[in-house]
Amino acid sequence: AAPPPSVPGEPAPPPPPLQYSLLLQHLVGDKRQPRVWDPATLGGIPCPPKSEEQKMVERVMESCPFKAALACVGGFVLGGAFGIFTAGIDTNVGFDPKDPYRTPTAKEVLKDMGQRGISYAKNFAIVGAMFSCTECVVESYRGKSDWKNSVISGCITGGAIGFRAGLKAGVIGCGGFAAFSAAVDYYLR
């Protein structure tokens, strides 16, 4: 019902009371206006939109080749440090079986430490790159980021490394590396 026309000089009649169904239409119905999500209104720190260069850098850093290369470099450094450390505490470094009473020189000890460091560095780099690349491919294929990715990629990596010694070693390597990956993933998450 429309309000009666107002007569000049008389106060305007009050608007009709808002009906509950009309209110619902404006709150949850067809007439609802969606709000733009702005973190600044919620008390968050406002941040400007990302530029195309920032988006490109993010895409590169999230790609599988970049992750594999980063794991390879990290594995090389960690393996080299581990190899030098283990050679430093090994009492047989520089030992000559032909002359067991001879004391090795510093040059011989450093040479053995360097060789062991390089050997460990290469092995750690290969394992790191294999695991990281496999995990990235599994995650991309599954479309999820959960503990199963690291277990599957651990099994694939351990199996590939162990398979060089035979089928039984490959199965053991798969199980062992998968269990280790699951334990590390459980601890980190």
135 with 84, same domain?
Answer: yes
Question: Would you say how long the chain is, in residues?
Answer: 189
- Token pair in block for residue 47: 């941040």
Phi, psi of 169 (to 5 degrees): -65, -35
In a domain, 27, yes or no: no
140 with 150, same domain?
Answer: no
- Token pair in block for residue 157: 């990596």
Q: Residues 75, 125: contact at Cβ < 8 Å?
A: yes
150 with 139, same domain?
Answer: no
Determine the Cα–Cα distance for residues 86 and 90; give it in Å rounded to an integer.
6
Q: With 60 as the cut, is the pLDDT of residue 178 above it?
A: yes
82 with 139, same domain?
Answer: yes
Write out pLDDT tens, residues 9-47: 777 777 766 677 777 777 776 677 766 666 556 666 667
pLDDT band at 5 (very low <50, low <70, confident <90, very high): low
